[in-house]
Amino acid sequence: MNKLKAIQPIKKGLSGEILIPGDKSVSHRSVMFSGLCDREVKITNFLHAADCMSTVNCMRALGVSVKELDENTLIVKGNGLDGLKEPAGIIDAGNSGTTLRLMMGILSGQKFLTTFIGDASLSRRPMGRVINPLSQMGANIVGRQNNKYLPITVIPAKENLHGISYKMPMASAQVKSAILLAGMNADGETTVTEPYTSRDHTERMLTGFGVKLKKSGTSITISKVDKMTPPAEIHVPGDISSAAFWLVAASIIEGSDVILKDVGINETRTGIIDVLKDMGADIQLLNVRDEVEPLADIRVRYAKLHGTTFGADIMPRLIDEIPIIAVAAMFAEGTTKITGAGELRVKETDRLQVITDEFNKVCPCIEGLEDGMIITGGQKNNLKFARCNSHDDHRIAMALAILGAAGVGVEIENSECVNISYPTFYEILTHFE
């Protein structure tokens, strides 16, 4: 459904508090890992959005009990590491790459067959980067176009999986996680080495479930796991990728002073804060505490930003935030150059191309690069009202909305895709108009 959303300018700034919805990455993993245990686990502040519900439905199809006490509270109970059951039909992963890639790792060592499909976007995303290392471990996974794309079937391996030492060509939390999860069911040790450390939610949560990991530099090693011991309760922190839209909005809309509540500040995810501070943003961390994941309240006030340059070394810590960083750069004085972001070409869309095509409709100030972009800033007075298309990409839709709210408004085609990660986004934005 091509739903058109009109965004009005925010004239008085953002003020008050915003409660950030649960972290998408942590929500996925909390359900998956709890479903591999034989004790009940209560999950609070779960992100009740389309992607995470794909994981819930997947685990239910595999025989795991998932009860919804309310929209954001789940009770999950599985039957142990060997307790997953063969699904009665094909599993639909929807738009969720996390669901598909991590489940391939979990299911690689199972003794039953599972077939996955997904929506049009997920069906275009490359899965060979996961299937190749899993196949080296002895997994038997087949897919369309020589095992690269959905539909994908995980077939019982002829022998037990065996550990490997895998050097990843690029940092990816999803690929790393899939290999580690397969390593839980593999003979010997499995080691994954990244060029840079990607987000470490899998490692943190596995440790919280009693799984022993060895870390050395950017390498993680796991051995076969016989049993997982879950915590009684998992509290999902607010998602910094969702908070990022308000971090930028408050930084570029005059008169803003807002506190974002209970946001996860895992250092593998806080690249957005580092880049915005480097651009001159006024950001403070308050009430910092450390649970399974560290979290804090974040105060952000309007500031005059300036351009910056960053590249591949920080990219794993902010890859999902590039669309909204591009918006900040359009308002910042001077030029911003982003490189090392080639991974964005195989996200929900070719995000680099979509940012260039759609944001330039509002103001033609972005030059696309093969692995990034150059943004000429200082455009606050040059913005025009335009109709833009999200291309069914939730992060593009929300970034366009902030661009319109900070400027002279915008119309967004295919706007409903925000339900993938932040169903209440427009409701909160409208509150400030």
pLDDT in tens, 363-409: 999 999 999 999 999 999 999 999 999 999 999 999 999 999 999 99
Q: Is 259 helix (H, G, I), strand (E, B) or coil?
A: strand
Q: For residue 15, what are its two tokens?
A: 């003020």
187 has a pLDDT exceeding 80 = yes
The confidence score (pLDDT) of residue 348 equals 84
Cis amide bond preceding 151, omega within 30: yes
Give residue 355's pLDDT: 98
Task: Give the helix, strand, coil percentages of the chain, each rounded to 5.
Answer: 35, 25, 40
Residue 67: φ, ψ to 5°: -105, 135
What is d(CA 325, CA 319) in angstroms, rounded to the nearest whole number? 10
Q: Is the pLDDT of residue 1 over 80?
A: no
Distance CA 362, CA 408 (A): 9
Mean pLDDT within 339-359: 94
Q: What is the pLDDT of residues 266-278, one digit of tens each?
A: 999 999 999 999 9
- Cβ proximity of 2 and 415 under 8 Å: no
Q: What is the DSSP letter of 238?
A: B
pLDDT in tens, 131-180: 999 999 999 999 999 999 999 999 999 899 999 999 999 999 999 999 99
Are 18 and 260 a contacting pair, CB within 8 Å? yes
Average pLDDT, the chain: 96
- List, by residue number, the catalytic residues: 320
